[in-house]
Amino acid sequence: HAPELQADGSLLVWDNGNFRVPEFSRIVQIRYDDLLGTATEVFSWRATPDIYDFALGDVDRLPSGNILATAGVSARLIEVTPAGEIAWEIALRDPAFWIYRTEVLAEGEFPEALRPFPE
């Protein structure tokens, strides 16, 4: 889901893992070579224990070089370092809620979102 073109021309995607045995979701970055007709896995990350989200998901490269992953059905946000370590993780407590997508806003980009609701 949500492929993101990287500066080096590779694609960063959330791989739901459907039709794989065992089923598991992961972050994967793939570089495609037009001349050779090959695809090479540049980076992958898989949670321990496994996460499996049959639908939804998102990944975004952050300015720090880390990756923000959205496991939509599991309703989890996970920031992963280039070394494959979890920087932080958060999950919604109510399994009835899924997360469609997550976007990182630059400072001041959407200040209305941070204002309290009027009474």
Q: What is the pLDDT at residue 2?
A: 87
| 45 in Cβ contact with 27 (< 8 Å) | yes
Contacts by 83-86 with C-beta closer than 8 Å and gap 24+?
A: 84/45
Q: What is the pLDDT at residue 107?
A: 74
Give the pair of three-digit tokens for residue 118.
Answer: 């009027």
CB burial class (10 A; 0-12, 13-18, 19+) of residue 38?
Answer: exposed
One digit per residue, the tens of pLDDT, for the chain of length 119 reads 889 999 999 999 999 999 999 999 999 999 999 899 999 999 999 999 999 999 999 999 999 999 999 999 999 999 999 999 999 999 988 878 899 888 887 777 777 766 666 66
Q: What is the pLDDT at residue 105?
A: 75
Full-model pTM: 0.86
Q: What is the pLDDT at residue 96?
A: 85
Q: What is the pLDDT at residue 83?
A: 97
- The 3 state secondary structure assigned to the chain is CCCEECCCCCEEEEECCCCCCCCCCEEEEEEEECCCCEEEEEEEECCCCCCCCCCCCEEEECCCCCEEEEECCCCEEEEECCCCCEEEEEECCCCCCCCCCCCCCCCCCCHHHHCCCCC
